[in-house]
C-alpha cells in the first residue's frame, strides 16, 4: 500500500501552492486532472475570425451558443469547446429566497482548477482589508512571506501607482500590460485631475496581474492574443499547472492524475484515503501522515460533509457577487481597436462612503461582438453598427464589495450527494450614484439602469464554509487548517477564509495554503 | 421535425433584414445545421413559434419587433434566431456585413446620430407591427 508523508488533493491554486511548500519524495498530489479534448488552433482571435472556420470558433457542437436562451446559463468564459473540461466537477445549484433556481453549476476537476479561466488578478490582503471585513483569526502579516515567495515564483506585472496603498507592497513588478486607448484616456484624465485635487473620490491605477510581459523564470511572455474566452490560461498567464509540471519535471512530487478522492478516515498515526481511478472506477487505498484538502470550497466542503454523514446540515457560504456597469467614454468613440490587448485594463476603488470596494475595468476585447448585441437596447443590426462606434470607448466595471457570512446564505449536501446553495441575502452595490458622479469627472458616462448583477457563484469567489477560528466548533477549522476534531486532516482552499475583503482572494488562498503547509512541516508528527 | 424549406426561407429573410444582402449558401447550411443540433432553436412556446411564423410569412420587421419581445431571463425564440444570424456572419471571414472595425472619432459620432434616427424608425415600426399582429 502506498504511504506518503503528505497527500494533497487538487491541483488548483491551493493544491499547487501546498505542493510547492511540501515538495519532496513523500508528497503526493491526487488529482482528477481533466484536460481539454482539443486545442484552440489560433494564436489570436483576429486570426481565428479571419480563418472563417466557424466550427473552430463556435465549437463543433455550437458550444459558444450555449447561452442563446438564457444568458446566465453558463459564464461567458466557460462556453468554449476547449474550456468545457474545466467545469466537469461536482454539481451544485444556487437558489434564491423563493427557491427559484439561479445557477446550475459544477465545480472543477481540471488540472489547474479554476485558474484555467481566471482573470489572473493576484492581489494581497492587508491589515486594512482584514480589519474592515472582520472575523479573521490571523493577521495579514502572517501571509506576507508567503505572498513574497509566490509572487517571486509566479511573476506579477503592474506598476507602483496610486492603487499601491490599497493593494499593498509587492516584490519587483514586471512591466505593466499595454493599455488600450480608452483606458489610457481614463488614466490621463485621472492624473490630470489629481494634480490639482489632492484627494480623488475614485482612485484608479494599473492592475497587478499574474501575466508575463517579458520572459520570466523560464516561461515565455504572454502574446495578448485576445483568446481568453476561447482557451484555458495559456503560456504567459500563470496557471498552477505550470508549477505542477515543473515539480514533476524535477521529480519533486508524486502525482496521481486521473484519481478522485472518495473518502478518508483518520487513525492515530495516519489518514487512510480511498480514491477511485476515474477511467476504470477501480478503487485504491492510500495512507498518509497528513491529508490536505484543496479541491475548491464547494467540493472540499461536500467531501467533509459526506465523510461525516452530515447530508442536510447547512453551513455558511459566501461569494463575491459582482455588479457590472458598462461605462462609455465619448472622447474615445471610434478609437482604432488595439491589435493586442488583455481584458483587465485598470482597477480602482471609491475612497468615499462606508466600506471598501474594488472595481476592475475591463475592455471587451476577446469577445465576439455578437455576445454584446442583446445588451444594447436597439434592433440587433443597428446595435452591431453602433458597436463599431462605441467599443473603442467602452469599459465594463466589475465591482466587488466586502462579503461576510449571513443567515440567508448557506450550503448543504442533499441526500443524492449534490450540493445546494441558498443565496437569499444579497445587497445591491450601495455606492453606484457616487461612482457615476466620479466617472463623469473622468469623462466616463453610464446610467444606474445599465448596471446588472450576475447571480451568486458567478465569479467562483466561494469561501467561509469551514472558516478558520481560534477555537473552532464542529465544521470549522483551526488556524493551521486542521478540521475541528482532527490532527492530520487540513483544509487549504477558500473554504477556510472566514470572510472576503473587496478583493480577489486567489493569491490569499495560495498564501494561506502555503502558510498551512508550513505548519504541517513544523507540527512534529 | 424542423421543416428545412421553412428554415431556409427564415434564414434568407433574417439575413436580408440584418445585412440587406442575400444569404450565402454556407450561411444557410450552417443555419440549418445549428437548428439540427441546438434545442434552444427549436424548443419554444406556441406564441413564440406563431410570432416567428407570422414575421417570416408577412416579411415583418423582425429586427424592429425583437427588442419589444425582450423580457425576463429567457430570450424569445426570435432573439435566439437573430443572434444565431449575427454569430454566423461574424465567424464568416468573407462576410461583407460583419467586420470588427471602427471608423475614427468624427465618423463614429456621425454614425451614432444617424443610427439613432434609424433605430427610432425601426423600433416604432416594430412596435406597431407587434401590436397589430398580436405578437408575443
Task: Specify whether the backbone of A232 is left (phi greater than 0), alpha (psi in -120 to 50) or beta.
Answer: beta
The closest of B53, B15, B51, B47 to B31, measured between CA atoms, is: B15
In three-state secondary structure terms, A127 is: helix
Residues 6+ apart with CB under 8 A from B100: A46, A49, A337, A369, B90
pLDDT confidence of A274, banded at 50, 70, 90? very high
CB contacts, 8 Å: B40 with chain A: 65, 68-69
- To test the contact with chain B by mutation, choose from A47, A52, A54, A364 the residue with the greatest count of B C-beta atoms within 10 A, namely A54
pTM for the complete prediction?
0.95
What 8-state DSSP symbol labels residue B26?
Answer: H
Please give the pLDDT value at position B2.
Answer: 61
CB contacts, 8 Å: A379 with chain B: 63-64, 66-67, 119, 122-123, 126
A380/A483 Cα distance (integer angstroms): 54
Please give the pLDDT value at position A353.
Answer: 67
Decide the pairing of beta strands A315-316 and A323-328: unpaired
**DSSP letters spanning A374-409:** GGSSS-HHHHHHHHHHHGGGEEEEEEEE-B---TTE
For chain B, positions 30-49, list CB contacts with chain A under 8 A: 30, 34, 37-38, 40-41, 43
For residues A86 and A116, is the Cβ–Cβ distance under 8 A?
Answer: yes
CB of B118 within 8 Å of a chain A CB? The answer is yes
As a whole number, mean pLDDT of residues A397-421 equals 95
- CB-nearest partner of A389 from B30, B38, B103: B103
As a whole number, mean pLDDT of residues A496-512 equals 96
Higher pLDDT, A136 or B103: A136
CB of A333 within 8 Å of a chain B CB? The answer is yes
CB contacts, 8 Å: B30 with chain A: 54
Among chain B residues, the shortest Cα distance to A54 is held by B91
pLDDT digit string (tens) for B88-134? 999 988 787 676 677 788 888 888 888 899 999 999 999 999 999 99
Statement: residue B17 has pLDDT above 80: yes
In three-state secondary structure terms, A469 is: coil
**A52·B98 Cβ contact <8 A:** no
CB contacts, 8 Å: B107 with chain A: 334
In three-state secondary structure terms, A157 is: strand
**B101·A388 Cβ contact <8 A:** yes
Please give the pLDDT value at position A171.
Answer: 76
**A379·B64 Cβ contact <8 A:** yes
**DSSP letters spanning A228-291:** TTTSS--TTB--HHHHHHHHHHTT-SEEEETEEEEEEEE-SS-EEEEEEETTT--EEEEEEEEE
In this structure, of A111-125, A132-146, A256-270, A350-364, the range with the lowest mean pLDDT score is: A350-364
Statement: residue A125 has pLDDT above 60: yes
- Locate all alpha helices (DSSP H) within A287-443, ordered by sequence: 297-307, 369-372, 380-390, 432-441
**B111·A385 Cβ contact <8 A:** yes
B81/B87 Cα distance (integer angstroms): 10
As a whole number, mean pLDDT of residues A443-462 equals 91
pLDDT confidence of A295, banded at 50, 70, 90? very high
Run of H or E residues at A359: strand A357-362
Residue with cell 490599497: A166
Beta bridge partners of B59: none
A155/A222 Cα distance (integer angstroms): 12
Among chain A residues, the shortest Cα distance to B37 is held by A61
pLDDT digit string (tens) for A239-272? 999 999 999 999 999 999 999 999 999 999 999 9
Query: To the nearest whole number, what is the mean pLDDT of chain A?
Result: 94
ipTM of the complex: 0.95
C-alpha radius of gyration, chain B, whole number = 16
CB of A62 within 8 Å of a chain B CB? The answer is yes
As a whole number, mean pLDDT of residues A482-494 equals 98
**B112·A51 Cβ contact <8 A:** no
Please give the pLDDT value at position A142.
Answer: 97
Statement: residue A172 has pLDDT above 90: no
pLDDT digit string (tens) for A432-447? 999 999 999 999 999 9
As a whole number, mean pLDDT of residues A403-428 equals 94
CB contacts, 8 Å: B98 with chain A: 369, 384
**B37·A61 Cβ contact <8 A:** yes
Task: Give CA torsion, residues A373, A379, A385, A391, to 10 deg.
Answer: -40
For chain A, positions 278-317, list CB contacts with chain B under 8 A: none
Among chain A residues, the shortest Cα distance to B18 is held by A381
Q: CA angle A230-A89-A306, nearest 5°?
A: 160
C-alpha radius of gyration, chain A, whole number = 23
pLDDT digit string (tens) for B26-75? 999 999 999 999 999 999 999 999 999 999 999 999 999 999 999 877 89
Q: Which three cell numbers stand for residue A291?
A: 491529508
- Residue ranges per domain, chain A? 2-522
pLDDT digit string (tens) for A181-223? 999 999 999 999 987 766 778 999 999 999 999 999 999 999 9
As a whole number, mean pLDDT of residues A143-151 equals 97
A58/A66 Cα distance (integer angstroms): 10
Please give the pLDDT value at position B107.
Answer: 82
Residue A139 CB: number of other CB atoms within 10 A?
A: 11
For residues A493 and A296, is the Cβ–Cβ distance under 8 A?
Answer: yes
Task: Give CA torsion, residues B87, B92, B97, B102, to 10 deg.
Answer: 90
What 8-state DSSP symbol labels residue A466?
Answer: S
Which of A101-105, A399-403, A453-457 ranks highest by mean pLDDT?
A399-403
Residue with cell 416579411: B59
CB contacts, 8 Å: A390 with chain B: 108, 112
Residues 6+ apart with CB under 8 A from A405: A316, A317, A318, A464, A467, A498, A499
| Alpha carbon of A377: minimum distance to chain B alpha carbons (Å) | 7
Among chain B residues, the shortest Cα distance to A377 is held by B67
pLDDT digit string (tens) for A47-95? 999 998 999 999 999 999 999 998 888 888 999 999 999 999 999 999 9
Architecture of domain A2-522: 3-Layer(bba) Sandwich (3.50)
Amino acid at each position: 500500500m502506498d504511504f506518503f508523508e503528505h497527500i494533497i488533493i487538487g491541483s488548483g491554486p491551493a493544491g499547487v501552492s501546498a505542493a510547492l511548500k511540501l515538495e519532496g519524495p513523500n508528497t503526493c498530489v491526487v488529482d482528477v486532472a481533466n484536460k481539454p479534448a482539443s486545442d484552440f488552433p489560433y494564436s489570436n482571435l483576429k486570426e481565428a475570425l479571419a480563418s472563417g472556420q466557424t466550427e473552430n470558433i463556435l465549437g463543433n457542437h455550437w458550444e459558444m451558443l450555449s447561452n442563446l436562451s438564457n444568458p446566465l446559463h453558463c459564464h461567458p468564459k466557460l462556453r468554449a469547446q476547449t474550456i468545457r473540461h474545466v467545469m466537469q466537477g461536482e454539481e451544485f445549484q444556487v437558489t434564491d429566497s423563493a427557491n427559484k433556481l439561479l445557477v446550475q453549476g459544477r465545480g472543477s476537476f481540471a488540472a489547474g482548477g479554476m485558474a484555467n479561466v481566471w482573470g489572473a488578478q493576484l492581489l494581497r490582503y492587508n491589515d486594512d482589508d482584514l480589519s474592515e471585513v472582520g472575523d479573521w483569526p490571523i493577521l495579514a502579516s502572517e501571509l506576507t512571506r508567503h505572498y513574497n515567495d509566490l509572487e517571486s515564483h509566479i511573476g506579477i506585472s503592474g506598476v507602483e501607482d496610486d492603487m499601491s496603498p490599497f493593494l499593498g507592497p509587492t516584490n519587483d513588478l514586471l512591466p505593466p500590460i499595454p493599455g488600450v486607448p480608452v483606458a489610457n484616456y481614463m488614466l490621463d484624465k485621472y492624473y490630470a485631475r489629481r494634480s490639482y485635487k489632492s484627494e480623488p473620490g475614485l482612485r484608479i491605477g494599473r492592475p497587478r496581474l499574474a501575466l508575463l510581459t517579458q520572459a520570466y523564470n523560464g516561461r515565455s511572455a504572454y502574446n495578448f492574443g485576445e483568446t481568453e474566452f476561447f482557451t484555458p490560461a495559456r503560456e504567459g498567464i500563470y496557471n498552477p499547472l505550470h508549477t505542477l509540471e515543473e515539480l514533476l519535471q524535477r521529480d519533486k512530487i508524486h502525482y496521481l492524475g486521473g484519481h478522485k478522492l472518495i473518502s478518508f478516515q483518520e487513525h492515530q498515526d495516519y489518514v487512510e484515503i480511498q480514491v477511485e481511478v476515474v477511467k476504470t472506477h477501480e478503487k485504491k487505498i492510500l495512507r498518509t501522515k497528513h491529508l490536505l484538502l484543496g479541491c475548491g470550497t464547494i467540493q472540499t466542503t461536500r467531501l467533509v460533509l459526506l465523510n461525516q454523514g452530515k447530508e442536510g446540515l447547512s453551513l455558511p457560504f459566501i461569494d463575491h457577487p459582482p455588479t457590472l456597469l458598462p461605462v462609455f467614454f465619448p472622447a474615445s468613440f471610434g478609437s482604432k481597436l488595439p491589435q493586442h490587448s488583455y481584458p483587465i485594463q485598470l482597477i480602482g476603488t471609491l475612497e468615499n462612503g462606508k466600506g471598501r470596494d474594488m472595481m476592475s475595468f475591463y475592455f471587451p476585447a476577446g469577445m465576439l461582438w455578437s455576445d454584446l448585441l442583446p445588451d444594447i437596447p436597439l434592433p440587433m443590426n443597428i446595435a452591431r453598427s453602433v458597436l463599431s462606434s462605441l467599443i473603442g470607448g467602452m469599459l465594463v466595471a466589475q465591482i466587488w464589495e466586502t462579503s461576510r457570512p449571513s443567515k440567508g446564505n448557506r450550503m448543504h449536501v442533499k441526500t443524492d450527494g449534490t450540493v445546494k446553495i441558498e443565496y437569499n441575502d444579497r445587497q445591491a452595490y450601495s455606492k453606484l450614484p457616487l461612482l457615476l458622479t466620479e466617472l463623469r469627472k473622468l469623462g466616463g458616462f453610464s446610467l444606474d439602469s445599465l448596471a446588472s448583477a450576475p447571480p451568486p457563484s458567478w465569479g467562483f469567489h466561494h469561501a467561509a464554509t469551514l472558516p478558520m477560528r481560534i477555537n473552532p466548533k464542529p465544521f470549522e477549522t483551526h488556524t493551521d487548517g486542521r478540521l475541528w476534531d482532527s490532527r492530520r486532516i487540513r483544509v487549504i482552499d477558500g473554504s477556510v477564509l472566514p470572510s472576503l475583503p473587496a478583493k480577489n482572494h486567489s493569491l490569499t488562498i495560495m498564501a494561506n495554503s502555503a502558510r498551512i503547509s508550513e505548519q504541517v512541516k513544523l507540527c512534529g508528527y | 421535425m424542423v421543416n428545412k424549406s421553412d428554415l431556409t426561407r427564415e434564414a434568407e429573410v433574417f439575413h436580408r433584414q440584418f445585412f440587406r444582402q442575400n444569404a450565402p449558401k454556407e450561411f444557410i447550411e450552417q443555419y440549418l445545421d445549428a437548428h439540427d443540433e441546438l434545442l434552444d432553436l427549436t424548443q419554444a412556446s406556441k406564441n413564440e413559434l406563431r410570432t416567428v411564423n407570422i414575421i417570416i410569412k408577412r416579411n415583418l420587421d423582425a429586427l424592429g419587433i425583437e427588442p419589444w419581445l425582450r423580457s425576463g431571463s429567457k430570450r424569445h425564440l426570435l432573439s435566439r434566431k437573430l443572434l444565431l444570424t449575427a454569430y454566423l456572419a461574424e465567424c464568416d471571414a468573407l462576410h461583407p456585413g460583419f467586420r470588427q472595425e471602427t471608423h475614427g472619432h468624427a465618423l463614429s459620432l456621425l454614425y451614432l446620430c444617424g443610427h439613432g434616427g434609424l433605430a427610432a424608425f425601426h423600433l416604432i415600426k416594430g412596435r406597431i407591427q407587434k401590436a397589430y399582429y398580436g405578437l408575443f
